[in-house]
């Protein structure tokens, strides 16, 4: 059967995949929730959920530093990748060797389509549709909640400070929760200077737990730059993971909104 992935690449899957490698943490967790315990043979060193897989599955490098030789040794009949999280050169190299299905996720709609397609490819479409229905139901609940629109800076990195632009999945989640992204750029992850933070003077600053692990000690640093902002540490996985973790996102966001002054 022919499948076309989210970057327009066509792959032919003749039989249900039995040896799957995931090179994207959020999609690895999705495969677990789809019940593909025996089929998944390789994951990255950043695929921390579920913990049992992190401990026991063969690791094939980092998301941007894949060990091609180790992947060859595992002889996968399907590799699941992502345009942003993996490097173009390595994905193209793997496409010459194995069926590679690559996602490209910038919003909730594209994430639900990814879950649907992976369900179809792996013949777990019934479970995939259950996950999609749960996510859709949750986000409908979020739209019914009265939210305060706050000018918000969301940071994913320090030294240099990096925020998120309007073309990112994080931006889409922010908007759905009522946060107004104070960065007006289509650049995915713009660098923001200390002077820009002062100039923007946001009402709210959200410091993500990943990829940079912001901690309590960093709040003081941002308070020096934006004295009027409320500054909160947030769970980066629940803002940026676009697989089955989305079933936990909305309830987290609702709880987070209660903490905003």
Tell whether 9 is covered by a domain: yes
- What's the pLDDT score for residue 184? 87
pLDDT at 146: 72
Share of the chain above pLDDT 90, in %: 95
Domain end: 111, 139, 167, which one?
A: 139
Q: What is the pLDDT of residue 105?
A: 98
What is the average per-residue pLDDT within 60-74?
Answer: 98
pLDDT at residue 145, rounded to an integer = 83
Task: Share the mean pLDDT of the chain.
Answer: 96
102 and 219, same domain (yes or no): no
Choose the final residue of a domain: 139, 162, 193.
139
Domain boundaries, position 42: 2-139
> Residue range 101-112: average pLDDT?
98
pLDDT at 89 over 80: yes
Same domain? For 127 and 168 the reply is no
Whether 250 is covered by a domain: the verdict is yes
How many CB atoms are closer than 10 A to CB 156?
A: 22
* Alpha-helix residue ranges (DSSP H) falling in 57-107: 68-74, 88-95
Domain-embedded: residue 242: yes
Provide mean pLDDT across the span 63-67: 98
Residue 199 belongs to domain with CATH number: 3.40.50.1980
Residues 127 and 161 in one domain: no
Q: Domain check: are 66 and 37 in the same one?
A: yes
In terms of DSSP bridges, do strands 58-59 and 40-43 run parallel, antiparallel, or are they unpaired? parallel
In the chain, how many domains are there? 2
What is the per-residue pLDDT across 134-144, written as a single tens digit (0 to 9) for each?
999 999 999 88
Mark which of 105, 120, 139 sits at the end of a domain.
139
Q: Do 203 and 160 lie in a common domain?
A: yes
53-61 mean pLDDT: 97
The per-residue pLDDT for range 163-207, each reduced to its tens digit, is 999 999 999 999 999 999 999 898 999 999 999 999 999 999 999
For the chain, how are helix, strand and coil distributed in percent, rounded to 5? Answer: 40, 20, 40
Residue 144 lies in a domain: no
pLDDT digits (tens, 9 = 90+) for 211-239: 999 999 999 999 999 999 999 999 999 99
Say yes or no to pLDDT of 122 above 80.
Answer: yes
Q: Would you state the pLDDT for residue 148?
A: 73
Whether 145 is in a domain gets the answer no
Instruction: Kindly indicate the confidence band of residue 149, based on its pLDDT and cuts at 50, 70 and 90.
Output: confident
* 101 found inside a domain: yes
The reply to whether 135 and 165 lie within a common domain is no
Please compute the mean of the pLDDT values over residues 101-126 and round it to a whole number.
Answer: 98
Mean pLDDT, residues 42-52 taken together: 97
Q: Where are the beta strands (DSSP E) in 35-191?
A: 40-43, 58-59, 61-62, 65-66, 78-82, 100-103, 150-155, 179-181
Residues 154, 135 share a domain: no
* C-alpha distances in Å from residue 180, one per residue of 35, 148, 166, 175: 37, 9, 10, 6
115 pLDDT above the threshold of 80: yes
Dihedral class, residue 159 (left if φ above 0, else alpha if ψ from -120 to 50, else beta): left
**Residue 49 forms part of a structural domain:** yes
Residues 102 and 37 occupy one common structural domain: yes
The reply to whether 135 and 155 lie within a common domain is no
Q: How confident is the model at residue 116 (pLDDT cuts 50, 70, 90)?
A: very high
What is the average pLDDT across 60-72? 98
């Amino acid at each position: 059967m022919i499948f076309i992935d989210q970057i327009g690449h066509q792959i032919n899957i003749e039989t249900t995949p039995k040896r799957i490698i995931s090179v994207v943490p959020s999609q690895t967790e999705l495969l677990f929730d789809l019940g593909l315990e025996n089929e998944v043979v390789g994951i990255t060193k950043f695929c921390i959920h579920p913990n049992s897989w992190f401990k026991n599955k063969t690791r094939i490098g980092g998301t941007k530093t894949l060990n091609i030789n180790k992947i060859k040794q595992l002889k996968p009949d399907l590799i699941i990748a992502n345009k942003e999280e993996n490097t173009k050169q390595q994905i193209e190299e793997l496409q010459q060797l194995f069926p590679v299905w690559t996602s490209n996720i910038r919003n909730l709609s594209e994430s639900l389509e990814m879950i649907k397609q992976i369900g179809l490819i792996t013949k777990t479409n019934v479970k995939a549709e259950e996950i999609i229905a749960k996510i859709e139901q949750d986000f409908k609940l979020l739209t019914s909640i009265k939210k305060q629109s706050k000018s918000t800076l969301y940071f994913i990195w320090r030294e240099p400070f990096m925020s998120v632009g309007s073309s990112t999945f994080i931006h889409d989640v922010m908007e759905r929760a009522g946060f107004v992204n104070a960065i007006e750029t289509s650049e995915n992850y713009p660098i923001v200077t200390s002077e820009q933070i002062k100039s923007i003077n946001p009402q709210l600053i959200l410091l993500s737990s990943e990829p940079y692990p912001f901690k309590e000690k960093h709040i003081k640093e941002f308070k020096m730059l934006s004295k009027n902002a409320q500054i909160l540490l947030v769970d980066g996985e629940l803002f940026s993971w676009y697989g089955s973790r989305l079933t936990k996102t909305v309830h987290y966001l609702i709880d987070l909104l209660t903490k905003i002054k």
